[in-house]
């Protein structure tokens, strides 16, 4: 089971709709490429078929995530507890510097924001989940164990 916010679910549903809407376009590309003749050396045909396979795989992956998702009601989460969708300020106990981290179900892949996205399945995400302001969490990372103090929950 994957925890997600209502916004995350809505975003996934929208992405699913977009992928489903691409199906006829990809099918049309395949038909047009097929009309060019010999399929053995037809790069357009093979590229369109690859696109179709990737699109269908992504549709199945999103449908599975939505089927197994548990949407979290913000009203049920204590204000001082870190949960999916929370943005927290953490202080590295060794170095003393602070950074913003956002706990997400799945990374958006965007690096434009001020916070660092961590998924609930990552070592940092597992340590953050259900922790509270004032606690110190221990995270086992590839370069060793790090400790962070939860300074505040920003959102």
Residue 59's CATH number: 1.10.287.180
Last residue of a domain, one of 51, 71, 91: 71
| pLDDT number for residue 8 | 80
pLDDT digits (tens, 9 = 90+) for 86-112: 889 999 999 999 999 988 877 666 666
| pLDDT number for residue 48 | 93
| Same-domain pairing of 90 and 148 | yes
Averaged pLDDT for residues 77-84: 78
Q: How far apart are CA 152 and CA 37, in angstroms?
A: 63
Query: Is residue 50 scored above 90 in pLDDT?
Result: yes
Domain ranges, residue 27: 2-71
Q: How far apart are CA 117 and CA 109, in angstroms?
A: 9
Domains contained in the chain, number:
2
Last residue of a domain, one of 39, 71, 103: 71
Torsion from C-alpha of 112, 115, 116, 120, nearest 10 degrees: -120
Query: Is residue 82 scored above 90 in pLDDT?
Result: no
| Same-domain pairing of 96 and 139 | yes
| Same-domain pairing of 91 and 135 | yes
| pLDDT number for residue 58 | 96
| pLDDT number for residue 77 | 67
Torsion from C-alpha of 55, 58, 59, 65, nearest 10 degrees: 180
Q: How far apart are CA 41 and CA 48, in angstroms?
A: 13
Query: Is residue 68 scored above 90 in pLDDT?
Result: no
Last residue of a domain, one of 71, 102, 127: 71
Least confident of 20-29, 77-86, 117-126, 144-153: 77-86
Contact 88, 128 (CB under 8 A): yes
């Amino acid at each position: 089971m994957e925890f997600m916010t209502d916004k995350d679910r809505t975003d996934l549903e929208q992405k699913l709709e977009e992928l489903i809407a691409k199906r006829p376009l990809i099918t049309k590309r395949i038909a047009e490429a097929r009309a060019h003749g010999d399929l053995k050396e037809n790069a357009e045909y093979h590229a369109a078929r690859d696109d179709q396979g990737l699109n269908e795989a992504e549709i199945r992956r999103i449908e599975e995530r939505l089927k197994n998702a548990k949407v979290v009601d913000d009203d049920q989460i204590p204000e001082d507890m870190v949960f999916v969708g929370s943005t927290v300020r953490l202080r590295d106990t060794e170095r003393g510097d602070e950074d913003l981290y956002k706990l997400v179900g799945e990374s958006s892949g965007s690096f434009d924001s001020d916070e660092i996205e961590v998924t609930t399945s990552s070592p940092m995400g597992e340590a953050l989940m259900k922790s509270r302001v004032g606690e110190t969490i221990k995270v086992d990372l590839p370069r060793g164990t790090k400790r962070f103090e939860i300074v505040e929950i920003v959102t």
